[in-house]
Structure 1
Amino acid sequence: MFNWKRFGMVAGISLTLVAAGCGSSEDEGTESNGDSNGDEAASEMNYGEEMGYEITGIEAGAGVVSSAEDAVEEYENLSGWEVSTSSSGAMAAALGEAIENEEPIVVTGWTPHWKFAKYDLKYLEDPKEVFGGEEQIKTMVRQGLEDDKPNAYKILDQFNWEAADMEEVMLEISDGASPEEAAQNWISNNQDKVDAWTEGTEEVDGTEVELVLVNWDSEIASTNVVAEVMKEQGFEVTITPLDNGPMWESVAAGEADGMVAAWLPGTHGDQYEQNKDKLEDLGANLEGAKIGLVVPEYMDVDSIEDLEAAE
């Protein structure tokens, strides 16, 4: 059987932020009216030109990237824009650098994500609804898992938490903790939730379980929390990072036991349609997820339609 692990996540490529300095100067010796000049500066500001008409994306093939590419086609004012792809880590690094320098940037974003706890950000309104509505993060397992490993199946089936829980783990990891350490800390502080996930299960002695994920901050957090809970129940857990397609295909092919990283209906919609008959959907483990274009709060734009076409 083909081994999908060979398709493990490629390290995010470095992302160069194209930026040109933007400033306004007042004519020397002329007393200015602060309000009128401020309005004029805002009206003349072209963020797109400063950013090289580039949306900073994550991995090629991710649903939020595909939606951003659709947005470039759907919105006339995004004519001449491009979506650059790299990795979620590279996107976050570019965002942090832009914010540190108070420069404009548009990124493909999603919630839950630690960046909303760390930075003052906002989603751009999407009048054409290219990015869709609310999403769920679902748990998918291979067919036959319930018969082969009923206790692992039950934990995965009962795993459920909220965006604030995930963001707490993500933020601790972004601040320097290892994923295992952050997961263990969250478990220690939320034993009541963990008890609900393990209710009705029995401890095992070294039963092997493999969980796969796409290497997004959100899924690193959730997968490590589930893995640490399963380890406490006696499982030997392997976590394998993969690209979007191979993640789904490995579960569908029975090479991996499951994942808690399925964003639906939009982000992983294509992968779900291709593989849904060969895996088992255990339902949502998190409600109220969202994707879209995200900018720092200091940018004077509120909608995708506020951005200007390339000249």
Structure 2
Amino acid sequence: MFKLDWKRLGITAGLSLTLIAAGCGSSEEEGSGDEGSEGNEGNTEEEASYGEQLDYTITGIEAGAGVVASAESAVETYDNLEGWEVATSSSGAMATELTEAVENEEPVIVTGWTPHWKFAKFDLKYLEDPEGSFGEAEEIKTMVRQGLEDDQPEAYQILDQFNWTPADMEEVMLEVDGGADPQEAAQNWIDANEEKVAEWTDGTEEVDGNEIELVYVNWDSEIASTNVIAEVMKAQGFDVTITALDNGPMWESVASGDADGMVAAWLPATHGDQYESNQDSIEDLGANLEGAKIGLVVPKYMDVDSIEDLQPDN
């Protein structure tokens, strides 16, 4: 569902200055040489230094995404996040930032969501959110334009019956992250899950080149789901076009009838504003995936478990 080279340089420089000034590393082995109260202060200083090392910046995705809005809300809600900011760019740049940090065992805080391949590839955790800024579990829903059932009943029924699990989605996402073309990864998953796919097309007949346009936001999760359902519909005879758009235009294109549908609606939080603005001009076909989640994500090697553990910019 980012171009941050300047930020990477800033984080690297901040790390170097912090380590030089402190005269020690952040590992437990380096801290174990201290004695008495100095040994206890090591962990406190480590936690406090995360903000300094990160320039009090949370790496976000696209401006306007619900997880970014929730992160910005958290910055306002939590007193200990005073002086922090959410830097927006893209989901790809966020993934690059996270990957580089993990490979170098550096601290990083990103706006994250599941399903996502990063949880299968890296050892990550959500920070606890006592104030509930990120809400509870989410659903990914299918939305179509008004009139699709009358104009394209076979397409409507396939989209209505589309349903899979986070584990299914992550299989496709991980293969794409490994270098596979999204269409190839989608077809590989379809070939390995014929019974599940048959449930989506059950009761429908093949068509002869009927045109369908599906839109999606350019997130790894939505690249996976949109390519999978597109390949299924192609096999049923549809001429399918998939178009990547930003969050707002994605919703507006379906609401206006310029696009036929999407399987990329994260609710109630992530796309809550867009749903509220467009719900009267769009048809909600319900959840195609349950158990999604958003929040602040960090590598497990970071000694922080809750948003409340972070230190303000004093």
Query: Within the alignment, does 1:191 sit opposite 2:226 as a pair?
Result: no
Query: C-alpha distance in 2, partners of 1:77/1:134?
Result: 25
Partner residue of 1:243 out of 230, 241, 246:
246
Query: C-alpha distance in 2, partners of 1:119/1:136?
Result: 23
Per the alignment, do residues 282 and 299 of structure 1 end up closer, same or farther by CA in structure 2, a change over 3 Å counting? same
Query: Within the alignment, does 1:121 sit opposite 2:124 as a pair?
Result: yes
Query: C-alpha distance in 1, partners of 2:186/2:58?
Result: 32
Query: Within the alignment, does 1:13 sit opposite 2:3 as a pair?
Result: yes
Query: C-alpha distance in 1, partners of 2:243/2:162?
Result: 19
Aligned Cα RMSD in Å?
A: 1.7
Query: Within the alignment, does 1:79 sit opposite 2:82 as a pair?
Result: yes
Alignment of 1:66-145 (within 5 A): 66-145=69-148
Query: C-alpha distance in 1, partners of 2:202/2:168?
Result: 20
Query: C-alpha distance in 1, partners of 2:307/2:241?
Result: 41
In the other structure, the counterpart of 1:259 is: 262
May I ask how many residue pairs the two structures share in their alignment? 297
Gaps of 5+ in 2: 26-31
Per the alignment, do residues 184 and 306 of structure 1 end up closer, same or farther by CA in structure 2, a change over 3 Å counting? same
Partner residue of 2:298 out of 295, 300, 304:
295
In the other structure, the counterpart of 1:50 is: 53
- SS of the residue aligned with 1:49? helix
In the other structure, the counterpart of 1:5 is: none
Deviations 1:143-169 (A, max 9, x none): 000010010000000000000000000
In the other structure, the counterpart of 2:169 is: 166
Query: Within the alignment, does 1:278 sit opposite 2:281 as a pair?
Result: yes
Query: C-alpha distance in 1, partners of 2:89/2:279?
Result: 27
1:247 positional shift: 0.3
Indicate conservation of the 8 Å contact 2:33/2:39, yes or no.
Answer: no
- SS of the residue aligned with 1:128? coil
Structure having the larger proportion of residues in helix: 2
- SS of the residue aligned with 2:265? strand
1:14 positional shift: 3.7
1:39 positional shift: 4.0
- SS of the residue aligned with 1:302? coil
- SS of the residue aligned with 1:226? helix
Gaps of 5+ in 1: 1-8
Partner residue of 2:62 out of 59, 68, 72:
59
In the other structure, the counterpart of 2:28 is: none
1:42 positional shift: 1.2
Query: C-alpha distance in 2, partners of 1:107/1:198?
Result: 38
TM normalised by structure 2 equals 0.91
Per the alignment, do residues 235 and 307 of structure 1 end up closer, same or farther by CA in structure 2, a change over 3 Å counting? same
1:33 positional shift: 5.7
1:129 positional shift: 0.3
Letter in 2 for 1:125: E
Percent identical pairs in the alignment equals 71
